[in-house]
Structure 1
Amino acid sequence: MEQYTTMEGDTADLIAYRRYGVTHGATEAILRANPGLAAAGTKLPEGMTINLPAWSVKKELKTVRIWS
């Protein structure tokens, strides 16, 4: 697990996007790895150290039939 020190204006979503390239799923992984982080508010305080979990985008292919 990697550690990250927040900068002015950081949000969990922004950190997720910078680190993993997406927010969906990645933001949730960051919040799970840092219990209580959501209580810090939307904009995280500068200088806070948080854990960035090993996480990757899982690409799922679904077959969709538009006609039966």
Structure 2
Amino acid sequence: MQYRTKQNDSLDAICWCYYDKPREVGYYVLNVLAANPDLAELGPVLPAGLTLELPDIPPPSNPTDRLWN
């Protein structure tokens, strides 16, 4: 699926909403970053109008895959 960013969007908030409020949102953020090269260079608040690829991602096999605790 593709997602077009809105003003003040952040990747973690997008993943939290799109992937149905997962506990392990960091796992999904890492996978979306892998699907969208150079996205991390834009910083934590994404520019409006950017098109992101939100791939189908299976649930994490290891629930400790996190960006933060």
Q: Is the pair's TM-score, using the shorter chain for normalization, greater than 0.5?
A: yes
Partner of 2:4 in structure 1? 5
Q: Cα deviation per residue 1:4-45 (whole Å; 9 max; x = unaligned)?
A: 000111111001100112212011111000000000111000
Percentage of pairs with the same residue: 33
Are 1:36 and 2:38 an aligned pair? yes
Higher mean alpha-carbon deviation, 41-50 vs 18-27, is at 18-27
Partner of 1:54 in structure 2? 56
Q: What TM-score does the superposition give when structure 1 sets the normalisation length?
A: 0.78
Rg comparison, structure with higher value? 1
In the TM superposition, what are the counterparts of 1:14-29 in structure 2 within 5 Å? 14-20=13-19, 21-22=21-22, 23-29=25-31
Task: For structure 2, list consecutive stretches of 5 or more residues without a partner in the other structure.
Answer: 64-69
1:60 to partner: Cα distance = 5.6
What is the number of equivalent residue pairs in this alignment?
60
Task: For structure 1, list consecutive stretches of 5 or more residues without a partner in the other structure.
Answer: 62-68
Q: What TM-score does the superposition give when structure 2 sets the normalisation length?
A: 0.77
CA RMSD, 1 decimal: 1.6
